[in-house]
Amino acid sequence: MLCLGIETSCDETAVALVRDGRLVGQKLATQIDVHAVFGGVVPEIASREHLRVLPTLFRELMEESGHAPEDIDAVAVARGPGLLGALLIGVSFAKALSLSCNARLVGVNHLWAHLLAPGLERSLPFPALGLLVSGGHTHTYRIDSPVEFELLGKTLDDAAGEAFDKVAKTLNFPYPGGKHVDELAQETEPDRKLFPRAFIDNPSLDFSFSGLKTAVAVHVQKHPEVVLPRMDDVDGASALGALLPDAREHVARICASFNWSVADTLRIKVERALKKTGHMKGLVVAGGVAANTMIRETMADLAQRYGLDLVLPGPALCTDNASMIAYSGWLMAELGLQHDLNLEAVPRGRVVPMDWHTRKAG
Ligand code: ATP
Ligand code: MG
Ligand code: FE
C-alpha cells in the first residue's frame, strides 16, 4: 500500500511517501526564516506559506519518486493538534486529493505520529511508555498498540520545548534556540542547585516548566553580562562563537544547569509513570526535544536500569516531518481505519477524537 503523508500543523510544510512501512521519499520546507524576525510562529503567515508551497512540494515528490497521483492508495494528513488555519490547508488538500485519486483518507494525530515515527527505523515494542517532548506538548502515554494511547501525564503550563526556546530567547540566542542551549550545555558540568526541578514533590504525573523558565530569567537579570547582543541574523552562530571565554563559561553553566533540571524532571516523572503502569517492554522518547543530548543520555540510563528497550528516533525524525504522518497513516489504513470527507482539523487545546469512519477499507 502506498501512503502519502501531509504535515502542515505548525511551521513546517512537508510531504512524504511510505510504501508498506518503508519510506519512499520526502520533501520538507521549513518556515523558520519567515517567522524568525517575529521571534515565534505567526499563525496567519504560516497558513499562507503552507498554501503557497504545498502543491509544489507534492508535485516534486511525485516526480522524484516516479509516481503518479493515481498510484496513491491512502492520503494521511496531520489533523491536529496544531494551528487551525495551518492544519486546514493540509486537511483540505488531503480531502481533494483523496477524492480525485480515489484514495482512502486518514486523519492522523500529530502527537501519536511523533511517537510512532521511529517505527520507520526499527520495530516498536509494545506495551511501551511514551514520552513526547516537543515545542507545544510534554506528554507521557501508555502505548499498547499504534492506535491505543492512554494519556498519563501532561504539562500544566509550558511544554519542554517552549521552556528551551524561552530560555534561549532570554539569553538572546537565535530562534529557535533549543539546539543552541543543547550545544552550550555540553561544554560544562551543570550546577544542580542553580535552578529548581518544579512540581516534583507530589504524586502527580503532570509537569510544570514555567517556574523553571522564570528562575532562569531572574538569574539572568542578576547577571546581565551573560546576555548576548541582540542578533538580527537568524544564523547567529557567529555571535555565539564570539563570546569571550569567561562569558561563554557562564552562559554554558546556565544552559547545562537548566538542561539538567529539565532532563531530571522528565526522568522523575517517567520513573513514576513506569511504577504506575507496571511492566513495560519499551520506552519511546520522541518530539523535537528528544534530539537533546542530555535528555537522550538520561533516558538511555533510565531504560537500562529498568530493562526497557529504548526507542529514540534519529534527529531528523524528532522534529516535524511528513514521514511520521505517512507511516502512521499507513499503519492505520492497514488496520482498516479511515475517515470520510467530514474529517475535521483539531487545533491546540482540544483532544483529537477517535472518530474513525468505521467502514472497513479494502
Ligand atoms: P508539537 O509537536 O507539540 O505541536 P512542534 O511540532 O512545534 O510542537 P517539534 O517540531 O516536535 O515541536 O519540536 C520543536 C521543539 O524542539 C522546539 O521547541 C525546539 O527548540 C526543540 N528542540 C529541537 N532540538 C533541540 C535540542 N537539541 N535540545 C532541546 N530542544 C530542542
Ligand atoms: Mg516546527
Ligand atoms: Fe510536532
DSSP 94-110: HHHHHHHHT-EEEEEEH
Give 68-113 pLDDT, tens digit per residue.
999 999 999 999 999 999 999 999 999 999 999 999 999 999 999 9
| Same-domain status, 158 and 279 | yes
Instruction: Answer yes or no: is the C-beta of 347 below 6 A from any ligand 1 atom.
Output: no
252 and 282 fall within a common domain: yes
Q: Do residues 329 and 302 share a domain?
A: no
Residue 81, preceding peptide bond in cis (omega within 30° of 0): yes
Tell me, yes or no, whether 150 and 287 share the same domain.
Answer: yes
Sign of CA dihedral 267, 269, 270, 275: positive
Number of domains in the chain: 2
Residue in 262, 260, 259 with CA at minimum distance from that of residue 209: 262
Percent helix / strand / coil, the chain, rounded to 5: 45, 20, 35
The reply to whether 17 and 138 lie within a common domain is: no
Judged by DSSP in three states, 325 sits in helix
**Largest Cα span, the chain:** 65
Split at pLDDT 50, 70, 90, the class of 351 is confident
How far away, in angstroms, is 187 Cα from ligand 1 center?
21
Instruction: Evaluate the omega torsion of the peptide bond into residue 127 and state whether it is cis, within 30 degrees of 0.
Output: yes
CA 361 to ligand 1 centroid distance, Å = 34
Claim to verify: residue 288 and residue 261 sit in the same structural domain: yes
Q: Is 107 in the pocket of ligand 1 (CB under 6 A)?
A: no
Distance, CA of 359 to CA of 336 (rounded, Å): 8
Provide the grid cell at 104. Answer: 482512502
- If pLDDT is split at 50, 70 and 90, which confidence band does 281 have? very high
**114 CA to middle of ligand 3, Å?**
7
**Ligand 1, atom 7: closest residue by C-alpha:** 135
Mean pLDDT of the residues in the chain: 93
137 lines ligand 1 (CB under 6 A): yes
pLDDT tens-digit map of 130-182? 999 999 999 999 999 999 999 999 999 999 999 999 999 998 888 889 999 99
Residues 269 and 341 in one domain: no
Domain limits for position 301: 126-312
Domain boundary among 312, 333, 348: 312
Distance of CA 289 to the CA centre of its chain: 7
Is there an atom of ligand 1 within 6 Å of 80 CB?
no
Q: Tell whether 47 and 190 lie within a shared domain.
A: no
Query: What residue spans of 147-222 are helical by DSSP H?
Result: 160-170, 178-185, 210-222
Q: What is the CATH number of the domain that holds 185?
A: 3.30.420.40
Specify whether 81 is located in the same domain as 199. no
Ligand 1 centroid to residue 161 C-alpha, Å: 5
Do residues 84 and 102 share a domain? yes
Which atom of ligand 1 sits closest to the CA of residue 41? Answer: 7
> Do 299 and 324 belong to one domain?
no
Does one domain contain both 151 and 65? no
Q: Is residue 352 lining ligand 1, measured as CB closer than 6 Å?
A: no
Identify the band that residue 234 occupies on the pLDDT scale cut at 50, 70 and 90.
very low
